Copies of this chain bind each other. A is one copy, B any other.
Amino acid sequence: MQSRTQCGTLTTQNVDESVLLKGWVQRRRDLGGLIFVDLRDRSGIVQVVFNPNINKDALEIAEKLRSEYVVEVKGTVKKREEATINAKMKTGEIEVEATEIHILNKSKALPIKIENQTDATEEIRLKYRYLDLRREEMQETMKLRHNISQAFRHYLDDNDFYEMETPMLTKSTPEGARDYLVPSRVHPGEFYALPQSPQLFKQLLMVSGFERYFQITRCFRDEDLRADRQPEFTQLDIETSFMDQEEIMAMTEEMLSSVVKKVKGVEVPTPFPRMTYEEAMERYGSDKPDTRFGLELVNVNNIVSESGFKVFKNAVESGGKVSAINVKGAADQFSRKDIDKLTELVAVYGAKGLAWMKVDGETFTGPIAKFFSEEEVKQLSAKLDASNNDLLLFVADKASVVADSLGALRLKLGKDLGLIDESKFNFLWVTDWPLFEYDEDEGRYHAAHHPFTMPQVQDVEKLEQDPANVKAQAYDVVLNGFELGGGSLRIYEKDLQEKMLKTLGFSDEEAKEQFGFLLEALEFGAPPHGGIALGLDRFVMILAGKTNLRDTILFPKTASASDPLTDAPSAVSTEQLDELFLKLTGKATE
């Protein structure tokens, strides 16, 4: 039997060869008694010509072809005449003269077009996902995703990591996000939970002495969905024993840099730049700064603390902050109306206003310019590196509002003004995270990362008295303004872990009930250990140049966590519920 040739691989090297092609009809044109068919398979497209002088029967079959019919074609590769060469096609210098054709399957008219620029709604794209996935850009993204996963595995395998599979049916732990539950049929009234991450299992594997673990695995969080969240997502999960923070970070850098090199051919220099959490918030108003452009936030507290402009003075006096962004050389591009729009944006983040001044030669203009002394203008100019035609934007508020609002404003301006070099892959470490976050609603501390994160050595003493100021041995890796992943050293001593849980408000009994097995494991020779987890979907998204996580996932869920293709979730039979000892309450969400 003749073996199949891939359409997209044919070149002038193959001229006069006899080939067997199998694929889809991209389009058909009838011209001067001939029929031209663009035949597509995974590798690309080639033009097939049916000529009545070669085989009349084949031509007759070709007359029946419609878009997306599946066919098998035998023919001979021919060089095209100069005039008909298509420089836009990879195979544009040749065509295949068909000697035989069989229709393997037909196709109805398609509900969406198989073209890169689709105008189909997302709902339709997901309902007919198997057609949406035929589009070249989806095929390319999925191929890239495969290449990325394999590249991670190659690196980790080469570095003596074992890929190890942790359970999917596990125990529900209310700490953290909401669990997806799975009722047990064998144990009435009891439930498994799907893992939010393999965190505890990977720590136990370190207690087991495996030393170097990784897994590319599915994780589940039943959270309210946002554009960039999915109920199930894929994580590259890594854990090591006996390595310190520096070693784990260096290994991660080497791994990421080798993967980007392999799949994109781009050299990423190591070590990656680093920044503390505090510095990131101060300079970028974000814990995941996009460092591909400037527009940094500048704290001007010292200069404006005695200013005649009460808003600034009061902000500083009440323990808040005044920061500014200098939009270089853009004053003349921003009308009052434009600035009003920016004011609306910062208001979303709680800022009560956006103060602004324009630089005109040596002086500042605008409604608040009059409040600043000559000395203050001079100092602001120096600090903000202001020169003619710069636009200075200020927010004065408590620190978190200043960061959130100016951080968002910075990203919007960077995008709108075209300051972002899309070809760059800017990796960045953010370090020295706070160990806790205070939840004002609940009046208690939450773990900023997770309850197993190691405090910094000098802060251990503060755990009980001053948790707000305890820093973690934690590190996030940021890529182009996205949180790509986060890691930490873990607590490996039972006493410290118990203290940590206490600070989080666990009673001894609750701690034992939820994490007793971990506490016990720490008593049997647990080694120092730590690791990192990277979001694979997001990494694929960034490397593929996409803006939507759903474009990186084969069969994603909608914003309401449903799948329009299979219609999941759906009702199940009473028998199924009976077996699980469950009844529906019949109540619906308000």
On A, residues with C-beta under 8 Å from B are: 4, 22, 24, 40-42, 68-70, 104-108, 110, 128-131, 133-134, 139, 142-143, 145-146, 149-150, 153, 157, 162-172, 174, 178-194, 200-201, 204-205, 207-212, 218, 220, 222, 231-232, 234, 241-242, 492-493, 517, 521-528, 553-555, 557, 560-563, 565-573, 576, 578-589
Which residues from B are CB-within-8-Å of A581? Answer: 584-588
For this chain, the copies found in one complex come to 2
Closest chain-B Cβ to A587's Cβ sits at a distance in Å of 6
Closest chain-B Cβ to A530's Cβ sits at a distance in Å of 13
* Contact yes or no, B210 A22, CB < 8 A: no
* Contact yes or no, A555 B171, CB < 8 A: no
* Contact yes or no, B517 A170, CB < 8 A: no
The 5 closest A-B pairs by CB, nearest first: A107-B525, A68-B525, A133-B208, A190-B569, A171-B568
Complex Cα gap A165–B536 (Å): 11
Among B157, B517, B527, B584, contact of A567 (Cβ-Cβ < 8 Å): B517
* Contact yes or no, A168 B232, CB < 8 A: yes
* Contact yes or no, A171 B130, CB < 8 A: no
* Contact yes or no, B568 A209, CB < 8 A: no
Complex Cα gap A201–B130 (Å): 9
Which residues from B are CB-within-8-Å of A40? Answer: 209
Complex Cα gap A162–B540 (Å): 15
Complex Cα gap A557–B41 (Å): 44
Closest chain-B Cβ to A25's Cβ sits at a distance in Å of 8
Closest chain-B Cβ to A160's Cβ sits at a distance in Å of 8
Closest chain-B Cβ to A99's Cβ sits at a distance in Å of 19
* Contact yes or no, A191 B42, CB < 8 A: no
* Contact yes or no, A143 B162, CB < 8 A: yes
Given contacts A104-B528, A130-B208, A191-B570, contact A517 B588 (CB under 8 A): no
Complex Cα gap A260–B415 (Å): 53
Closest chain-B Cβ to A436's Cβ sits at a distance in Å of 24
* Contact yes or no, A572 B130, CB < 8 A: no
Which residues from B are CB-within-8-Å of A209? Answer: 24, 40-42, 133-134, 139
Q: Contacts A42-B211, A187-B560 known; list 15 others, CB within 8 Å.
A: A22-B241, A106-B523, A107-B524, A133-B208, A142-B162, A142-B210, A166-B555, A168-B232, A174-B576, A178-B579, A182-B569, A184-B569, A186-B561, A188-B587, A201-B554
Among B205, B526, B571, contact of A190 (Cβ-Cβ < 8 Å): B571
* Contact yes or no, A205 B133, CB < 8 A: yes
* Contact yes or no, B525 A24, CB < 8 A: yes
Complex Cα gap A543–B535 (Å): 33
* Contact yes or no, A572 B210, CB < 8 A: no
Can you list 20 contacts pairing A with B, beta carbon distance less than 8 Å?
A: A42-B210, A42-B212, A133-B208, A133-B209, A134-B209, A142-B210, A165-B234, A166-B554, A167-B563, A169-B220, A181-B572, A188-B589, A190-B569, A190-B570, A190-B572, A191-B570, A201-B554, A517-B565, A517-B566, A517-B567
Closest chain-B Cβ to A526's Cβ sits at a distance in Å of 6
* Contact yes or no, B554 A192, CB < 8 A: no
Which residues from B are CB-within-8-Å of A41? Answer: 209, 211
Complex Cα gap A168–B230 (Å): 12
* Contact yes or no, B168 A168, CB < 8 A: yes
* Contact yes or no, B130 A170, CB < 8 A: no
Specify the chain B residue showing the minimal Cβ separation from A492: B105
Which residues from B are CB-within-8-Å of A169? Answer: 180, 220, 231-232, 557, 561, 568-569
* Contact yes or no, B171 A570, CB < 8 A: yes
Closest chain-B Cβ to A125's Cβ sits at a distance in Å of 12
Kindly name the residue among A4, A24, A204, A525 whose own CB sees the greatest number of chain B CB atoms within 10 A. A525
Complex Cα gap A220–B24 (Å): 35
Complex Cα gap A218–B165 (Å): 9
Which residues from B are CB-within-8-Å of A178? Answer: 185, 579
* Contact yes or no, B168 A104, CB < 8 A: no
Closest chain-B Cβ to A223's Cβ sits at a distance in Å of 10
* Contact yes or no, B555 A172, CB < 8 A: no
* Contact yes or no, A22 B527, CB < 8 A: yes
* Contact yes or no, B525 A106, CB < 8 A: yes
* Contact yes or no, B242 A22, CB < 8 A: yes
Complex Cα gap A39–B185 (Å): 45
Complex Cα gap A241–B130 (Å): 14
Complex Cα gap A496–B465 (Å): 72
